[in-house]
Chain A
């Protein structure tokens, strides 16, 4: 499984694939070519509606469509979904708990060269404070596809975080089953648990190998659902390994690290160290250069894991 596919690509493919099987419509705000909803548009032009560069209107139009009983996906970049249209999502989708699926692509710094204005590092924090919103951040193409099919059949608002950057396919399409709200242990370990989401899952697995070479046994947990957070999995990890590291392509404030730390503080206090963007804006650069600059690397995860293990004593 050496293929690399961006989760946005998997999203577009999934919409087109499931368009045959399920009845739903798709909205975009002049970014269909980038969000990949264009793949759906090509196959089902009569079920695709471009809203132009007006994201706030698009989100509320989606809400209006949902009131009639239709499933609707609304897509744009994460910055303009969770960011620009936060209030529309909060008041017209979240508050009435309408059946709108927000497909937000180009999340995080892996947007690359476009720079800080387009690199959304706040969406997980923003979306998880909306009551009733399910927040999903798939780690690979397989997970993205399965999560999209789940969302079509789930009644309620869902925020999807997809990436622009091609990432390895980690999971087998035939055997993978998406269970919302369920963190998945990908590798067992006894010294420290690494909770990772999105593109950081693959890096967490690599960090585990680095740690293993130094005699540290790390568990790796894939948190595809940021909200509701899998409290049981967090408590179990705290109890069994006594130290946790989180890894996300997001500000360290408010996202996965915060969600995990909240649970740990309330249940089984153990050291929690967070890998993410350290409360700063992004910048232009190639994706590998940016990941290195902001410490979103297996090496940094491993380094934090060692600190977390040391803190146990």
Chain B
């Protein structure tokens, strides 16, 4: 990846983090931790990898992204706004009764949202359906879906993995946002779903493990995913929950609570002062 492009993606990731926190702060509710951990992946996909057109969100040949970990919608909305699917001013209306930005993604009312998600374990199955339909129709679009590590405790995630491998969905790329924390505490203590690499390989996936905040590593992994034929790829992305805001990083409590005015101001200041990864 060229240096100027990388700089652009780092900047986009910062804007995604700022946009997500702006919405959550305004709504006084939402999920900052997982929104911040997935921001670099979203930046990479929406501003580099995916074949999409914000002027034509329903384009049938577009690549798809399904946010299976739907509670981190604020980050997705920020990416979509930044990409031009809708005005950035909408972000501050997050979760408001007169807004199309629902607490969890709603494909019917938000331009650019490819699938309604929020109930954990469902998005990955929907992504499988999109990938299967693409293959059946002879289309070359790719389907990306991000799950949380806590989400992988849902049995349906593994039903979907079986399905993806069985139908050789090499146009499907699963991202595991491995930030290590869920509502009740560390994922490894609540209900340990690891080892990811071995499990996903046993389920028939090509597995690539990366630092989910390193754009070069992400680039190598997503490129490898495109080249892998005959099986789906899973990118296990080790991330930091709350990434980029010192007091939110690796704190379970920031899974689903909003910053107050003071905390928000500090978070914005920290993000704005951050250079690079």
Contact = CB atoms under 8 A, between A and B. Distances in A.
A61 interface: yes
B266 to A, nearest CB: 36
A56 B134 CA distance: 21
Contacts of B119: 87, 91-92
B48 interface: no
A64 B156 contact: no
Contacts of B162: 52, 54, 57
A64 B116 contact: no
A61 B107 contact: no
A61 B128 contact: yes
Contacts of A69: 60
A268 B99 CA distance: 40
Nearest to B154: A56
B176 interface: no
Interface residues of A, number: 28
Contacts of A49: 132, 167
Contacts of B125: 56-57, 59-61, 63-64, 88, 92
B108 A64 contact: no
B175 interface: no
Q: How large is the interface on B (under 10, 10 to 19, 20 to 34, 35 or more residues)?
A: 20 to 34
B21 to A, nearest CB: 27
Where chain B touches its partner, the secondary structure class is helix
Nearest to A91: B119
B116 A60 contact: no
Interface of A: 25, 46-47, 49, 51-52, 54, 56-57, 59-70, 87-88, 91-92, 95-97
A61 B122 contact: no
B252 to A, nearest CB: 26
Nearest to B160: A57
Contacts of A87: 119
A97 B115 CA distance: 11
Contacts of B114: 67
B133 A65 contact: yes
B156 A56 contact: yes
Interface string B126-141: 1111111110110000
A271 B211 CA distance: 68
A205 to B, nearest CB: 42
A67 B106 CA distance: 13
B126 A68 contact: no
B115 A64 contact: yes
Interface in B128-174: 128-134, 136-137, 155-156, 159-160, 162-163, 166-167
B112 to A, nearest CB: 13
13 contacts: A47-B136, A56-B155, A57-B160, A59-B125, A60-B122, A60-B129, A61-B160, A64-B126, A64-B127, A64-B132, A64-B133, A68-B130, A96-B107
